[in-house]
Every structure is written in C-alpha cells, then in structure tokens.
C-alpha cells in the first residue's frame, strides 16, 4: 500500500528537480543589476560571471551579481550602488559582487568578496535596515552604517606588519595572499549629520573583534587564526591605505612638492579658501573671492601655458 505512494512522491520530486534544472540556464542568463561604475581610472577589467573574457570597465557600466572587477597598478574605480553606497577599488585589487539586494522601504544588504588589494566602503542611504558583508581571504567583515577600509593580501601584510602594535607582538606569521587588515573610519559618536555610528565585526576562526570607533583596526595574518585587535591604526598606516585607495592623489603630490600639484602653484594657491567651500559655516563667505581651482578638465598651467596631458580617465 505504501509503495505506490512512495513511487508517486519520488516521481513528483524527480519532476520538480527536472523542471528546476531546466530553469537554471534561464536564471543564469538573468542579470541582476545593482549599481554602476561611477568613476574608472586607468586599467580596470570587468568580467561577467558567465564569461571567460574580461573587458575594460567604463564609467556608467552596469554592475550585476557575480561581476568580477580587477584593477591594475595606478588604477582605481568606484562602484555606486542603488542605495548610493559606494565601493572604492584601489590599485591592484580584485573584487567580486556576490549579492546586493536593495529595497528603498526595507534597506540594503550586500555581500562582496575582496580577493586582493584595497577596498573602501561608504554606506549610502541612512534609511531602513542596511547591512553589508565583505568576504576577505582570511576574515568575514560585517559592517553597519560605516566608512571602512579593507586591505587584502600582500598590501595588507605590508601595512599590517608595519603597525607598531603588530610589530610588538611575537610570532605573527602572515600569509601574503591571505592577510587581511580592516580599519573602521567612521562615523564616530561625534559625527555630524546624525549618521548611524559605524560598526564593523571582523570574524575569523570563530572569533569576532568589534570595531566601533574611527581608527580602530583588526589584522588577520592568515586564514584560520583569530583576528588581532582591536588596535589603533598608526598615522603612517593610514597614509599607506589612502595611497592604495587613491593612487592618483598619492602620485599627484602635495606632500613632497612634486607631481601635478607642483605645476599648479600659480592657480592653486590663493584660489581656494576653505571657509568658502564650507558654506554651512558661512562665517567668512563674504570676504573672499575664491571660486574654482582646477577648471573643468585635466589641464593645468605651467610657466603660463595651459597644458592638457593625455588623460586616462574612462
């Protein structure tokens, strides 16, 4: 008596499985677009999940689930998600967009994987329940309402092991492919604008370290070991991170008198007044003539001549 029922159940299950399998190719072709490339500088490759061949990422390119993005040296990009959150991708970075779900009424959830390099995340809309998870080689980072920097791989090892806190420890054995460094940048408790105070949870080997103040960091030297921290990132460490995420700013100079800024002295100095830029502090708006410092393009003035170098802005 029970055998026929079992047979019917097995047939039903097989039919459902077959119909599901038949639906897979259609689903695989469906592209869930969750954002767009908002700036692309230099060589940044982009690959769809189902494609073997990569192509140059261009500004306004749509970003979808499963997309891979890889930047070369002295290159960078920013991905703007529908809720206006952003992922800034530094040089020599590889990133995969695993899943992003956004509902203006409910909030946003995002899962991305950083395989190597430097990543900065800025949370967008302050409304709804917004969460994001970043899978790094040696840790999983859960973030909320946050500005956060994440380094993965060799660059994380370089910056992490130079940190005085890590240097003072014994027997830190880092893996150059797996090392992960996480730095919370804000917002802190004293934030303006009523922003959600940032928080990041760095989990590895079943241990979670919570970062809840700007400047706090956690370092995971390799997969399978607990995070080290929290500790306060050093100023030189922050400079290195900034240089990885904004390589063109680092190369433009400003700290050593060289680079593009060096050629801009005649129009840069005195052309900008911070008090004017900060118009919400309009205590000194009326006594300045400052307006623009850099014009509308990538040109600059050198010895009185307007120079427009070949741009690699995509």
Interacting residues with another protein between 56 and 75 (CB under 8 A): 59-60, 62
3-state DSSP call for residue 17?
Answer: helix
* Residue 15 CB, nearest approach to another protein (Å): 38
Kindly tell me which of 30 and 279 has the beta carbon lying closer to another protein. 279
Instruction: Rule CB under 8 A: choose which of 169, 176, 306, 307 binds another protein.
Output: 169
Whether residue 298 contacts residue 311, with contact meaning beta carbons closer than 8 Å, is answered with: yes
Interface size with another protein, residues (CB under 8 A): 126
| Stretch of 4-12, 23-31, 110-118, 257-265 lying at the interface with another protein (CB under 8 A) | 257-265
* Residue 151 CB, nearest approach to another protein (Å): 15
* Residue 250 CB, nearest approach to another protein (Å): 8
Kindly tell me which of 47 and 248 has the beta carbon lying closer to another protein. 248
The shares of helix, strand and coil residues in the chain, as percent rounded to the nearest 5, are 25, 35, 40
Cα gap 46→50, rounded to integer Å? 12
Q: Is 303 a binder of another protein (CB under 8 A)?
A: no
Q: Is 165 a binder of another protein (CB under 8 A)?
A: yes
* Residue 172: DSSP 8-state: -
Cα gap 132→145, rounded to integer Å? 9
Instruction: Rule CB under 8 A: choose which of 10, 17, 104, 176 binds another protein.
Output: 104
Whether residue 49 contacts residue 66, with contact meaning beta carbons closer than 8 Å, is answered with: yes
* Residue 228 CB, nearest approach to another protein (Å): 4
**Segment 197 to 236, residues that bind another protein, using CB under 8 A:** 199, 201, 203, 205-216, 219, 221, 225-236
Cα gap 199→90, rounded to integer Å? 22
Kindly tell me which of 16 and 312 has the beta carbon lying closer to another protein. 312
Classify burial at 9, counting beta carbons within 10 Å of its beta carbon; exposed 0-12, middle 13-18, buried 19 or more: exposed
Q: Is 301 a binder of another protein (CB under 8 A)?
A: no
Q: Is 111 a binder of another protein (CB under 8 A)?
A: no
Distances in Å between the Cα of 238 and the Cα atoms of 218, 261, 307 are 13, 21, 32
Question: DSSP letters of 45-60?
Answer: EEE-TT-S--EE--TT
| Stretch of 15-23, 48-56, 154-162, 164-172 lying at the interface with another protein (CB under 8 A) | 164-172
Q: Is 107 a binder of another protein (CB under 8 A)?
A: no
Instruction: Rule CB under 8 A: choose which of 20, 293, 306, 307 binds another protein.
Output: 293
Cα gap 232→221, rounded to integer Å? 17
């Amino acid at each position: 008596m029970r055998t026929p029922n079992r047979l019917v159940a097995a047939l039903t299950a097989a039919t459902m499985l077959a119909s599901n399998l038949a639906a897979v190719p259609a689903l695989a072709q469906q592209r869930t677009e969750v954002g767009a490339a908002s700036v692309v500088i230099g060589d940044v490759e982009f690959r769809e999940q189902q494609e073997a061949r990569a192509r140059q990422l261009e500004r306004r390119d749509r970003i979808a689930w499963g997309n891979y993005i890889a930047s070369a040296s002295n290159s960078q990009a920013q991905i703007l998600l529908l809720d206006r959150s952003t992922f800034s991708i530094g040089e020599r970075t590889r990133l995969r967009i695993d899943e992003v779900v956004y509902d203006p009424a409910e909030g946003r959830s995002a899962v991305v994987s950083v395989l190597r390099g430097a990543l900065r995340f800025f949370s967008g809309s302050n409304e709804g329940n917004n969460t994001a998870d970043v899978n790094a080689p040696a840790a999983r980072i859960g973030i909320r309402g946050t500005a956060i920097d994440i380094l993965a791989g060799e660059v994380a090892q370089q910056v992490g092991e130079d940190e005085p806190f890590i240097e003072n420890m014994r027997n830190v054995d880092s893996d150059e492919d797996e090392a992960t460094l996480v730095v919370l940048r804000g917002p802190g408790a004293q934030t303006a604008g009523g922003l959600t105070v940032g928080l990041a949870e760095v989990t590895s080997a079943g241990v979670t370290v919570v970062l809840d103040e700007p400047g706090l960091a956690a370092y995971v030297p390799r997969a399978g070991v607990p995070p080290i921290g929290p500790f306060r990132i050093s100023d030189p460490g922050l400079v290195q991170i900034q240089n990885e995420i904004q390589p063109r700013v680092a190369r433009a100079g400003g700290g050593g008198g060289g680079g593009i800024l060096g050629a801009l002295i005649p129009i840069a100095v005195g052309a900008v007044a911070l008090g004017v830029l900060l118009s919400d502090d309009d205590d000194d708006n009326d006594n300045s003539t400052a307006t623009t410092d850099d014009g509308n393009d990538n040109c600059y003035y050198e010895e009185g001549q307007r120079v427009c170098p070949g741009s690699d802005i995509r």
